[in-house]
Amino acid sequence: MIDKDDFRPITRSRRRATITNAKSETVKLRNGETAAASDPKARESFTKNLQAQLSQDSKRKCDLYDKMSCHKLQESMLSSASSFKNYRGILNWCVVMLVLSNARLFLENLLRYGILVDPIQVVSLFLKNPYSWPAACLVIVSNVFILLALYTERKLAMGLISEKAGLLIYIFNLTVVLCFPMIVVLKLPSITPVGGAFALGVYTILFLKLYSYKDVNRWCRERTQAKARSLSRSLSCPSSQSPSSGMQSHVSYPGNLSLRDIYYFVLAPTLCYELNFPRSESIRMGFLLRRLFEMLLLTQLLVGLTQQWMVPIIRSSMKPLQEMDYSRMTERLLRLAVPNHLLWLIFFYSFFHSSMNFVAELLRFGDREFYRDWWNSETITYFWQNWNIPVHKWCLRHFYKPLLRRGAGKLLSQSAVFFASAFFHEYLVSVPLRMFRLWAFMGMMAQLPLAWFVARFLRGNYGNAAVWLSLIIGQPIAVLMYVHDYYVTHYQDDPTVTEAL
Amino acid sequence: MIDKDDFRPITRSRRRATITNAKSETVKLRNGETAAASDPKARESFTKNLQAQLSQDSKRKCDLYDKMSCHKLQESMLSSASSFKNYRGILNWCVVMLVLSNARLFLENLLRYGILVDPIQVVSLFLKNPYSWPAACLVIVSNVFILLALYTERKLAMGLISEKAGLLIYIFNLTVVLCFPMIVVLKLPSITPVGGAFALGVYTILFLKLYSYKDVNRWCRERTQAKARSLSRSLSCPSSQSPSSGMQSHVSYPGNLSLRDIYYFVLAPTLCYELNFPRSESIRMGFLLRRLFEMLLLTQLLVGLTQQWMVPIIRSSMKPLQEMDYSRMTERLLRLAVPNHLLWLIFFYSFFHSSMNFVAELLRFGDREFYRDWWNSETITYFWQNWNIPVHKWCLRHFYKPLLRRGAGKLLSQSAVFFASAFFHEYLVSVPLRMFRLWAFMGMMAQLPLAWFVARFLRGNYGNAAVWLSLIIGQPIAVLMYVHDYYVTHYQDDPTVTEAL
């Protein structure tokens, strides 16, 4: 499109005339004449003459000469021979086009379906019977496992049970934390998929937290023993010194095994236990209320957009999916990708910024790094390391580094982390839907070859675009797969659903 | 969404610990201990001690302390309290979203309408009967007016007719240039709208060129007379000096009145006549072929996109337009805006860059400034001054500045330019369609209040976005208006068209 040829003016005198043009407006008026004055000195004296003359000449005459010549030797801006590079208007163009396209989609949707937003329907997603709250009951039961962990740690700290016995109790406790809600959700038909996913999410978080609790307390005991062995009370034993130094009460090992401490950890927006969390100075009411407002608003928006935008597209995708109509399936997939991606972005902000900051502010929890700049990721790996910092931190501290210490290779450890992540994704989706299809599992495992591909072949902005593309396209594929299977299983015989195209 | 509250750590010692953390990885390993050393000197000696000790301690022990503390006091990146400002990934996001949305539209269009591209149909737009080429005949006839202009100028130069008589001949000539094709197009039913628009476009360009030719030759005569009056042969008479100075033959006034000169001007990609155009050194074959390739490719693309994308939308807009269904009209308008805008962008590149550069290269015409950076315009005025430089230059030289010299105000002159432009827009659209609706005229005149509004209330990127918006939305409104009226007039009774929704 753009050209690199050299572009030379035809005469030297004319080129000089052009330069003179650019230098002074006065000379420009008569550039036909400057062509005559070909060496610099002559041109200088000529310019002086000209200026002296100008004051005598009539103004009208000047205008005349000005009018005579209106072209100069130059390249088009889009030719590469021109040095023009300013395209900042293009970003604005992108934004305007995106807003307009989506305004059109919004209007088209309203015209085709009318208003589908229905807040009452949301309640029915959580509850089948308003007098029975199975998911809430499950969450309340989880306190048992928290108390069991605390009880075990206290016995271990007092030396009443051996490390081995403690580990066995923990294995039992953590296995039950994962299996008990799963069995309840699978066996109890009164739990809705959304309620089940919520309860399982709570239990999964609890599992990760208790695992971290166990590890850190064990490290503390190991350190105490190491100190006791080395006999020298060197600077490396901060636990006994710290209480005297700070204005804040600094907790050391066995002192942390209190109800208050473990519940603070369970409620805090982190998965990694620490004896002394950094704390913020006070609760900023303005900040708190703004986060609360965002949470409420964005949750409403999520529900509204899902009902108005996602559900109709998913419904109309069922027929092509059943008939394996590939071109129509692709079209529905691309159509689903936009709302799905927007919902994911809103979810990200409302969960990782609004909600977590809200809880952290309420608990005066100091470390607010719940995400990093994943939007600039140029590799898939960078994205997974930065979009969910609590989980990433946990994986690094309690899974990846312990594996490395035990001699596992880097690639193996990384794959193991993705495998564990894939397991939990599948667990959180399959169990509430009561069907095992492995789409989420495969989606997570597919990240490994994808990460290799992007890191190997794409750099800079291309890598970033590839990450965005995998996010925008990857998710709706999994969503469509699950929803399709769910509909086929549950509503196969219902003609109003299968013919809703 | 983003918050400005202050965010203070709870203890001084802890803040210092955090700072030390950031400074050195070694100290970070034991930041529990640095809290004890509260003044700088003590910390320094402490660090030394620590480093000496580290060499003795086991590596495993270090890891242990590293694991213990994994949180630090910090704000979320999206909080305004954090100084994070890097969002370059967002531009890539915009591009990916635009590409995906349009891929979806493309696929949806193919699925709904099948392949509509039909090169044979294009020919029928120009010709009704392949043995009668009325538009081409009209273009050939235009040579008469060129020759009349040259003949008049020669008589004027020789003094055989007076200035007044010359002006009268020109008024007659230019009036016929505008009226003759109009009458032919209106009276001859064998001319198609596209063929008519092409012929009228050629005649309009010719009108502007001959007007410029007349003005410049008159200025030359006036200058010769002024010189003759002042008697002194000063430097301000370059016409007689120049031939001796350059390597190129420099043409002076009466010498330019040749067939070769006027036809060079008529074919050159400019509307402003000049006796000595800047010329490029040689024809670059690579450049020429690339421009030719672009012209052919983009013309095919224009035709294909119009048939496949524009026509179905326009057809389906007829019903809502007839029924005055406003929400559906808006939806169709927004749907039309995207392909219309893309077509306009492709047209801009293929006409103002490829075609004009092709012709210029062929004629060794040096001034390739056919457009400037209108994509960065922050005001409507800047856009109109920069997107079409040949017309802008002509308006400035032969319309705006002469008006100012005759004492008209700036605003009046500007409005007059817009009025003339509106007239020609209407002329080029209404006559070929054989219906006078004034939509194009009103569209151009609406630019004046719009320009005032944008310049008054919007700055920088907002101004730029407003210019884009007016381009993207403004054009399809006019297109829809004309097409609707055309369909209603011609195909009202044809049920296949009116029910094509």
The 3 state secondary structure assigned to B95-132 is HHHHHHHHHHHHHHHHHHHCCCCCHHHHHHHHECCCCC
DSSP states along A449-490:
HHHHHHHHH--HHHHHHHHHHHHHHHHHHHHHHHHHHHHHHH
3-state secondary structure at position B245: helix
Mutate to test the interface with B, among A4, A5, A386 (most CBs of B within 10 A): A5
Return the minimum-mean-pLDDT range out of A419-433, A483-497, B390-404.
A483-497
Chain B: residue whose CA lies nearest to A17: B278
- Summarised one tens digit per residue, pLDDT across range A394-437 is 999 999 999 999 998 998 998 899 899 999 999 999 998 888 88
Pick from A215, A222, A469: CB nearest B96: A469
Taking the C-alpha atoms of residue B214 and residue B226, their distance in angstroms, rounded to an integer, is: 18
Chains A, B: CB pairs < 8 Å: 370
Return the minimum-mean-pLDDT range out of A39-48, A185-194, A386-395.
A39-48
Chain A: residue whose CA lies nearest to B335: A104
- Summarised one tens digit per residue, pLDDT across range A315-372 is 888 777 777 778 888 888 888 888 899 899 999 999 999 999 999 999 999 999 999 9
DSSP designation for B309: I
Average pLDDT over residues A195-201: 92
B311 has a pLDDT exceeding 80: yes
What is the distance in angstroms between the Cα of A40 and the nearest Cα belonging to chain B?
15
Q: Please enumerate in sequence order all residues whose Cβ is within 8 A of that of B469, keeping only pairs 6 or more positions apart, or say none.
A: A96, A100
Pick from B64, B108, B472: CB nearest A331: B108
The amino acid at residue A119 is P
B327/A111 touch (CB, cutoff 8 Å), yes or no: yes
All residues of chain B having their beta carbon less than 8 Å from the beta carbon of residue A88 are: 376
Residue pointed to by tokens 């209190």? A258
Contact B368, A80 (CB under 8 A): no
- Summarised one tens digit per residue, pLDDT across range A20-74 is 343 433 333 333 333 333 445 555 555 555 554 444 444 454 455 556 778 888 8
Chain A: residue whose CA lies nearest to B75: A368
Q: Output the pLDDT for position B58.
A: 46
All residues of chain A having their beta carbon less than 8 Å from the beta carbon of residue B35 are: 238, 242, 245-246, 250
Pick from B89, B238, B337: CB nearest A32: B238
DSSP designation for B69: -
A237 has a pLDDT exceeding 80: no
Q: How much is the pTM? A: 0.69
Q: Output the pLDDT for position B317.
A: 81
B95 has a pLDDT exceeding 60: yes
A447 has a pLDDT exceeding 80: yes
- Summarised one tens digit per residue, pLDDT across range B449-476 is 999 999 999 888 899 999 999 999 988 8
Q: Please enumerate in sequence order all residues whose Cβ is within 8 A of that of B52, keeping only pairs 6 or more positions apart, or say none.
A: none
Pick from A13, A103, A279: CB nearest B245: A13
Q: Output the pLDDT for position B360.
A: 94
All residues of chain B having their beta carbon less than 8 Å from the beta carbon of residue A74 are: 366-369
The candidate with the shortest Cα–Cα distance to A311, out of A54, A34, A115, is: A115
Structure tokens at B487: 């369909």
Average pLDDT over residues A167-189: 93
Confidence of residue A493 (pLDDT cuts 50, 70, 90): low
Average pLDDT over residues A166-194: 92
Q: Is the dihedral of CA A381, A386, A387, A389 positive or negative?
A: positive
Backbone angle region of B379, left / alpha / beta, with phi > 0 → left and psi within -120 to 50 → alpha: beta
B245/A35 touch (CB, cutoff 8 Å), yes or no: yes
Return the minimum-mean-pLDDT range out of A43-47, B294-298, B310-314.
A43-47
The candidate with the shortest Cα–Cα distance to B167, out of B152, B150, B157, B184, is: B152
Taking the C-alpha atoms of residue B98 and residue B210, their distance in angstroms, rounded to an integer, is: 45
- Give strand pairing partners of A288: none
All residues of chain A having their beta carbon less than 8 Å from the beta carbon of residue B235 are: 33, 36, 46, 49-50, 53
The candidate with the shortest Cα–Cα distance to A76, out of B341, B271, B272, B366, is: B366
> Environment class of residue A39 by beta-carbon count within 10 Å: exposed (0-12), middle (13-18) or buried (19+)?
exposed
- Give strand pairing partners of B452: none
* Dihedral Cα A331, A334, A336, A341, nearest 10 deg: 180
All residues of chain B having their beta carbon less than 8 Å from the beta carbon of residue A253 are: none
B472/A100 touch (CB, cutoff 8 Å), yes or no: yes
Taking the C-alpha atoms of residue A159 and residue A166, their distance in angstroms, rounded to an integer, is: 10
Mean pLDDT (chain B) is 80
Cα–Cα distance list, A349 to A306, A355, A487 (Å): 16, 9, 30
Identify the residue with better confidence: A350 or B114.
A350
Taking the C-alpha atoms of residue B357 and residue B292, their distance in angstroms, rounded to an integer, is: 9
Most confident option among A475-489, B12-26, B65-79, B351-365? B351-365
> What whole-number percentage of chain A has pLDDT above 70?
80
Mean pLDDT (chain A) is 80
Q: Output the pLDDT for position A440.
A: 87
What is the distance in angstroms between the Cα of B160 and the nearest Cα belonging to chain A?
24
Nearest 5°: CA angle at B373, between B368 and B378?
155
All residues of chain B having their beta carbon less than 8 Å from the beta carbon of residue A335 are: 104, 108
Return the minimum-mean-pLDDT range out of A103-117, A136-150, A365-379, B440-454.
A103-117
Confidence of residue A308 (pLDDT cuts 50, 70, 90): confident
DSSP designation for A236: T
The count of C-alpha atoms lying within 13 angstroms of the C-alpha of A284, restricted to the half-sphere facing its C-beta, is 20
Return the minimum-mean-pLDDT range out of A371-385, A433-447, B25-39.
B25-39
Residue pointed to by tokens 């081995």? A164
Confidence of residue A15 (pLDDT cuts 50, 70, 90): very low
Q: Output the pLDDT for position A228.
A: 82
Structure tokens at A313: 């597209």
- A355-359, Cβ contacts within 8 angstroms, sequence gap of 24 or more: A355/A291, A355/A295, A356/A269, A356/B76, A357/A287, A357/A291, A357/B76, A357/B79, A358/A288, A358/A291, A358/A292, A358/A295, A359/A267, A359/A268, A359/A269
What is the distance in angstroms between the Cα of B12 and the nearest Cα belonging to chain A?
8
Q: Output the pLDDT for position A35.
A: 39
Average pLDDT over residues A293-316: 87
